[in-house]
Structure 1
């Protein structure tokens, strides 16, 4: 009887951590930042700034989430965001309407994701190897297309539309949340979404149960590319110019947001809500370090430590089941 009670306590602890752990980390960070820099946190502009910084992280993390969910990874998301940003900017400069350019940018992002997935399927190599290579390829294409220079001069309506706010909340945040809702519905209510979870849990068992592994791998990378393309468009609107070096290193933020949000690096476990919380945590950390005038190099150290700590914590919690 005593053993059964102890087992229930352990299960309840795991469930409690999975449900509220990420939210608890976010609250803790806000408390720490509020104690250290109250004059920077408790001001009218702080929340919109944090949300605005988090929007790109959330979009990239949503795509990364699916790659990690199948025990893979997508290291090319930052390069894809930069490439799509340059392409969309050049189209608008050439006279294409902003709406048409945005639509084409999203399609191009999805197509790039399709290429990643097709390479993974055709070569049989781990996504780490494929996306490590395509990361460099897409960044190189970005530099060639832009001639290694910023692209600007597109309609002001595009920048104003992306960078504006509704009820004090940046439009970019609504874009990220809408994408999160759509993908959340996809993971919970569709067969393909449930199959992706099964594929991440055990790819061999998923294959024996009749799941088309290659098709769902392709879907995963299409989603990742689409989200990265959308992130590139949002970043373009925020900055007001397409920088060939934009989103460099942002794959680290995306991975960190996914893992901190409760996505298992070993596949088959994670939720969209947790990824959104993870993106907000990254946004709070970046904002906190900025207001405390911490050099960007130290921010990279913190992100790396967060990834290691989050994966170690995930393994620790899993071992306590």
Structure 2
């Protein structure tokens, strides 16, 4: 095991050195690495909720649209209430969470009550949420009339005085949100009864039901968690850009699924990790960043991302076949 870890680290070091050389030293700069961390934040947060859903052998295609819907709703709300400062931030987040969690609940009801495929129900929610976001925003971003309450959350840095002498601008505040959520939900998944139920349902739903687990309740909660994570990502993006846009989350659902799959969570359910999803998001973020530095066209980047997802799924299937023999 130790030799495998050392080998993987050595290979990573070689790849990083080659990429940095090809990018003429632009890859390993403090500013670029900080930017990578900021960019993966939203995908990693979406991936947290997606991990819970996929472990139960489900999937959530609506998270990208929920980023847009919650962002538009939160921006509209913030522009029409008399609150200011941290109170405005907190209440706006609660409104976004209410919308995101309710959408997650709506996703879950047909799945647990009518036994409909999650792919269909969340695809329907994706279309409805995106359409509603465009309708509420009249097709245009809803700009915050007073963004001061959100500036620190979206664009602020922590520990800047300590890190600036080292060339780093600081730790972006959204990265702290990501770290906290990864830690909290990693504990929930691995150290609580609810987490054990999630794995049990993904491993064998009928056996979990016979063991007395309330399958409907657990599956509903995982979709609610996914919707809530989309709302948090929506808040951070709204705070960063100073507006809630009905275009913000296009493609985010596929990016989040890619992070989960690359992190090693099985699409068949029963196995996965929030921490591994974070590293999956980091790997995809680094890959996208490298391709941008090398001036690779966006459509070629899509081909590469699709290939990475396919390889991850094939490796997972081969691993399962090996374990069965």
TM-score of the aligned structures, taking structure 2 as reference length: 0.88
Q: Specify which of 46, 70, 79 is matched with residue 84 of structure 1.
A: 70
| Cα distance in 2 for residues equivalent to 1:249 and 1:193 | 28
Query: What RMSD over aligned residues (CA atoms) do the two structures have, in Å?
Result: 2.2
What is residue 183 of structure 1 aligned with on the other side? 185
Do residues 155 (structure 1) and 155 (structure 2) align? no
What is residue 216 of structure 1 aligned with on the other side? 218
Q: CA deviation at 1:25?
A: 8.5
Do residues 143 (structure 1) and 145 (structure 2) align? no
Residue 41 of structure 1 aligns to a residue whose secondary structure is coil
**Residues 159-168 or 199-208, more deviating:** 159-168
What is residue 75 of structure 1 aligned with on the other side? 61
Q: CA deviation at 1:22?
A: 9.3
Q: Specify which of 34, 39, 52 is matched with residue 38 of structure 2.
A: 52
What is residue 111 of structure 2 aligned with on the other side? 120
What is residue 130 of structure 1 aligned with on the other side? 121
Q: CA deviation at 1:273?
A: 1.1
Structure 1 stretches lacking a partner, 5+ long: 1-11
Change in Cα spacing, 1:262 to 1:34, as seen in structure 2 (3 Å) is same
Alpha-carbon displacement from aligned partner over 1:199-249 (angstroms, at most 9, x marks no partner): 001111111111111111101101100111111111112222222111101
Residue 243 of structure 2 aligns to a residue whose secondary structure is coil
| Cα distance in 2 for residues equivalent to 1:100 and 1:20 | 47
Q: How does 1:299-318 map to 2 (within 5 A)?
A: 299-318=301-320
Q: CA deviation at 1:81?
A: 0.8
| Cα distance in 1 for residues equivalent to 2:247 and 2:122 | 18
Q: In 2, are the aligned partners of 1:98 and 1:155 still within 8 Å (CA)?
A: no
What is residue 98 of structure 1 aligned with on the other side? 89
Q: Specify which of 139, 146, 156 is matched with residue 164 of structure 1.
A: 156
Q: CA deviation at 1:153?
A: 2.9
Q: In 2, are the aligned partners of 1:26 and 1:277 still within 8 Å (CA)?
A: no
Residue 144 of structure 2 aligns to a residue whose secondary structure is coil
Change in Cα spacing, 1:28 to 1:134, as seen in structure 2 (3 Å) is farther
| Cα distance in 1 for residues equivalent to 2:9 and 2:141 | 38
Alpha-carbon displacement from aligned partner over 1:13-68 (angstroms, at most 9, x marks no partner): 9xx98x89998897676444323214211222011100000000100111111111
What is residue 166 of structure 2 aligned with on the other side? none
Q: In 1, are the aligned partners of 2:65 and 2:130 still within 8 Å (CA)?
A: yes
| Cα distance in 2 for residues equivalent to 1:51 and 1:206 | 38
When the two structures are aligned, how many residues end up with a matched partner?
Answer: 307
Residue 83 of structure 1 aligns to a residue whose secondary structure is helix
What is residue 257 of structure 1 aligned with on the other side? 259
**Residues 51-60 or 310-319, more deviating:** 310-319
Q: In 2, are the aligned partners of 1:22 and 1:278 still within 8 Å (CA)?
A: no
Change in Cα spacing, 1:30 to 1:75, as seen in structure 2 (3 Å) is farther
Change in Cα spacing, 1:143 to 1:28, as seen in structure 2 (3 Å) is farther
**Residues 72-81 or 116-125, more deviating:** 116-125
Q: How does 1:240-319 map to 2 (within 5 A)?
A: 240-319=242-321
Q: In 1, are the aligned partners of 2:46 and 2:226 still within 8 Å (CA)?
A: yes
Change in Cα spacing, 1:36 to 1:315, as seen in structure 2 (3 Å) is same
TM-score of the aligned structures, taking structure 1 as reference length: 0.89
